[in-house]
């Protein structure tokens, strides 16, 4: 199999290379997928750069990056229904605690990590579901149904935020979203009732005004550290702050008093560790949203496998409108 790999941490241009590996044969309970697309996420960039605290070298001698992808099952191991061969699938946790991820022509992994892709859903979309799609679904529905609730979605212009806006609206919630001025129109078109500039100096007051003076039931937060004080102002009693990122401030000071007297729940989401039953629930929700034509997953750019460096640099640069994919064919 033809793959992108790295054997040390560093900038993409310095450490990413192409190599041909033997395609692992599927063991019992495993499948081999011929990949068509690989999804590139910020976590892939951080992993390759070695930016995680206390991690000084890759966990494996050679690492094929990326956890998301989509393709067609080419072979199955013992115990897997042979009828799965030829099935279109999408991948989750492709490179989580494993050496070989999806930046490759093939991946071999446990059968349950290759999820059947509905006929009406493209392989491009499938390559976005592993991290952005599941994170959005868990952030919106992690405490159950949201019909009749007001949700504040921070970073509605990002891939996770944009999917979350659509899912929340589909679930019957009123959505207030924050984003940059550039993204305001498309976030509004995705279904947000109110779209606010995240740079507003009166953001908390703006959010409450958008909800007729009432606090919000649930907050989806991409920058927990930077926004936790504001979150404490606008969250309703017994509300939930579902936080899936805090890049600006990874060691935040939490305003415990205001959160205490709201009895607020802080739900930190790391989709890699989602228990299987909850993951399956998110998968079912995504499938139902697709069946109802309620969810679209925009792609900003597709790079060739040989241009994986440029793909990583595009994710690192930010400011994109949609996902970055690798064409693995």
DSSP 8-state code for residue 221: E
pLDDT tens for 117-139 read 999 999 999 999 999 999 999 99
pLDDT category of residue 152 using cuts at 50, 70 and 90? very high
Q: Where are the domains of the chain?
A: 2-128+297-327, 145-272
Considering the entire predicted model, what is its pTM? 0.97
Dump pLDDT digits (tens) for 39-55. 999 999 999 999 887 88
Mean pLDDT, residues 189-203 taken together: 98
User: Selecting from 3.40.190.10, 3.30.200.20, 3.90.180.10, 3.40.50.2000, what CATH number does the domain 2-128+297-327 have?
Assistant: 3.90.180.10
Q: Going by C-beta distance under 8 Å and a sequence separation of 6 or more, which residues neighbour residue 218?
A: 140, 143, 146, 149, 150, 151, 152, 173, 239, 240, 241, 242
217 to 60, 99, 147, 173, 249: CA distances (angstroms): 43, 40, 11, 10, 24
- pLDDT category of residue 326 using cuts at 50, 70 and 90: very high
**Mean pLDDT value across residues 279-287:** 98
pLDDT at residue 234 greater than cutoff 90: yes
**In the prediction, which pLDDT does 53 show?**
78
Print burial letters for 36-63: b (CB count within 10 Å at least 16), e (below 16).
bbbbbbbbbbebbbeeeeeeeebeeeeb
2-128+297-327 matches 145-272 in fold? yes
CATH 3.30.70.3420 given to domain 145-272: no
């Amino acid at each position: 199999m033809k793959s992108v790999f790295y054997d040390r941490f560093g900038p993409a241009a310095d450490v990413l290379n192409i190599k041909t590996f033997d395609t692992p044969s599927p063991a019992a309970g495993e499948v081999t997928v011929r990949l068509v697309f690989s999804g590139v996420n910020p976590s892939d960039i951080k992993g390759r750069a070695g930016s995680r605290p206390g991690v000084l070298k890759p966990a494996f001698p050679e690492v094929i990056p990326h956890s998301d992808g989509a393709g067609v099952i080419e072979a199955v191991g013992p115990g897997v229904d042979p009828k799965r061969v030829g099935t279109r699938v999408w991948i989750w946790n492709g490179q989580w605690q494993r050496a070989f991820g999806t930046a490759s022509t093939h991946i071999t992994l446990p059968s349950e990590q290759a999820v059947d892709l509905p006929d009406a859903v493209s392989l491009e979309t499938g390559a976005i579901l592993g991290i952005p799609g599941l994170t959005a679904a868990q952030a919106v529905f992690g405490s159950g149904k949201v019909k009749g609730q007001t949700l504040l979605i921070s970073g509605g212009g990002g891939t996770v935020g944009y999917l979350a806006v659509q899912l929340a609206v589909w679930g019957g919630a009123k959505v207030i979203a924050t984003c940059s001025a550039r993204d305001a129109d498309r976030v509004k078109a995705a279904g947000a009732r109110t779209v606010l500039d995240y740079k507003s100096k009166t953001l908390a007051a703006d959010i409450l005004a958008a909800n007729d003076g009432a606090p919000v039931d649930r907050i989806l937060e991409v920058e927990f550290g930077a926004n936790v004080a504001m979150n404490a102002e606008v969250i309703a009693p017994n509300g939930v702050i579902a936080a899936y990122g805090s890049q600006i401030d990874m060691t935040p000071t939490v305003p415990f008093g205001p959160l205490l007297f709201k009895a607020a729940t802080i739900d930190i989401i790391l989709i890699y560790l989602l228990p299987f039953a909850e993951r399956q629930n998110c998968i079912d929700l995504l499938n139902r949203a697709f069946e109802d034509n309620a969810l679209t997953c925009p792609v900003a750019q597709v790079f060739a496998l040989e241009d994986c460096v440029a793909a990583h640099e595009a994710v690192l640069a930010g400011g994109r409108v949609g996902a970055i994919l690798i064409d693995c064919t």
